[in-house]
A and B are shown apart, each in its own frame.
Chain A
């Protein structure tokens, strides 16, 4: 399993390094020039990448297996289908956790150096983790679609669910609260709200993994 997880992280390394490079470059540039706007922008980029990391790592990894037709290679080796599926879920989650840790450190330093940084949604050290957790169900469905059908279905699942991620919460908007107020509230979570979201979304992610394992064990590969 460790071997497969490492392989997936290695395959996704450019995605993580590019994100770090973009953020780091902007942040260093902002720090050198004393520009609070640029530093704020770089922290914004970090937050923008946080929800993308797990679903896109999952999709990238899936697309890579399909391009190389290596799912059949893995299945022809002494590796159980359950292990293949679990490794994809775990490696994508690890990429998300790694990014969240980087985000925590950056947000903590950034807001200390530039107190006004973060713009509309001032980052806390937990913002990245919260946003990453919100998209775990999307990543789970993406991987189920991949293991059931192919990476094209996985891509469609991401696109549809990304829209749903923005639309569905509006059903829970309290009466009398404007949309802006509602989204500001969602995007400024309390620590207890972050904990609830993290546990719930992790639960959905694990259930998604079990479903994908059941689906993939029955799938025939060309």
Chain B
């Protein structure tokens, strides 16, 4: 892929009892990729390595064609990141958090943030620690999107959220993709989210990439054997070690 926004090449990382082995995949500009796999498959570890929160034992990660460690600050200015746990200074208000975060992004669009906060019904005067789980997720997404990043990386963004909030967040992702120049990588184990928004799917099982391709191509392949196969079926078969 010539215009890959994200390239992972043979990334390996070992922890006691877990090993990420030779993980390679690419995400082309302008698409949404779902990183899917069972709990403990290594989705969060891959994302942490991309964000340089963990170091790969070997292999390389390039974002926007730049090494993610050597050009860490430059790369992160162009990324919006929503972690699995939405961490804020809990004694500070949501509005204070926004004022704090915006200092680090030259492309921050305050009007866009205000619009997102209004659409998500986030009370900016409320302490971050007093926000509900759903509102913390929304605040996290608004903070990640307000500088209009070229790449949005989300780690289990819909995990633990009720269906209404989940649908709102996914709709916002599709809206974010508007001009075709932005890309999204999101990890999940909720396969219905992938059906709804993903263009590409990377399946990871036990720290290894099982498959990485366009969603339709994956479905087509699976439906040769089982005409009604869904993404969920593909993931379940992969987790069981079957093709």
Residues of A within 8 A of B (CB): 3, 7, 11, 64, 67-70, 72-73, 75-80, 218, 220-222
Check B89–A70 contact: CB distance below 8 A: yes
CA distance A58 to B103 in the complex (A): 23
- Which chain A residues lie closer than 8 Å to B3 at the CB level? none
Interface residues of B in 99-113 (CB under 8 A from A): 100-101, 103-105
Q: Scoring B residues 31 to 44 as 1 if CB is less than 8 Å from chain A, else 0, what string do you get? A: 00000000000000
Smallest CB-CB separation from A69: which chain B residue?
B87
Known: A7-B100, A80-B72. A72 touches B55 (CB 8 A): no
CA distance A67 to B87 in the complex (A): 10
Q: How far is the CB of B78 from chain A (nearest CB, A)?
A: 9
- Which chain B residues lie closer than 8 Å to A70 at the CB level? 87-89
CA distance A72 to B82 in the complex (A): 11
Check B100–A76 contact: CB distance below 8 A: no
Interface of B is mostly: loop
Interface locus among B46-54, B191-199, B232-240? B46-54
Query: A75, A78, A79, A222: which has the most chain B beta carbons within 10 Å?
Result: A78
Check A3–B55 contact: CB distance below 8 A: no
> Can you offer 14 A-B residue contacts whose CB atoms are under 8 A?
A3-B104, A7-B100, A11-B91, A68-B89, A69-B85, A72-B53, A72-B87, A75-B51, A75-B52, A76-B76, A76-B81, A78-B74, A78-B77, A79-B73
Q: What total of chain B residues lie within 8 Å of the partner, measured CB to CB?
A: 24
Q: How far is the CB of A58 from chain B (nearest CB, A)?
A: 17
- Which chain A residues lie closer than 8 Å to B73 at the CB level? 78-80
- Which chain A residues lie closer than 8 Å to B55 at the CB level? 218, 220
Could you count the A-B residue pairs with CB atoms below 8 Å apart for me: how many are there?
55
- Which chain A residues lie closer than 8 Å to B87 at the CB level? 68-70, 72-73
Smallest CB-CB separation from B144: which chain A residue?
A76
- Which chain A residues lie closer than 8 Å to B28 at the CB level? none
Smallest CB-CB separation from B76: which chain A residue?
A78
Query: B89, B91, B105: which has the most chain A beta carbons within 10 Å?
Result: B89
- Which chain B residues lie closer than 8 Å to A3 at the CB level? 100, 103-104
Smallest CB-CB separation from A7: which chain B residue?
B100
Check A76–B54 contact: CB distance below 8 A: no
Query: Any chain A CB within 8 A of the CB of B121?
Result: no
Known: A3-B100, A68-B90, A70-B87. A78 touches B53 (CB 8 A): no
Q: How far is the CB of A77 from chain B (nearest CB, A)?
A: 5
Known: A7-B100, A76-B53, A78-B73. A68 touches B88 (CB 8 A): yes
Query: Any chain A CB within 8 A of the CB of B83?
Result: yes
Q: How far is the CB of B10 from chain A (nearest CB, A)?
A: 20
CA distance A171 to B108 in the complex (A): 57
Smallest CB-CB separation from B13: which chain A residue?
A220
Smallest CB-CB separation from B103: which chain A residue?
A3
Known: A68-B90, A69-B85. A77 touches B53 (CB 8 A): no
Q: How far is the CB of B105 from chain A (nearest CB, A)?
A: 7
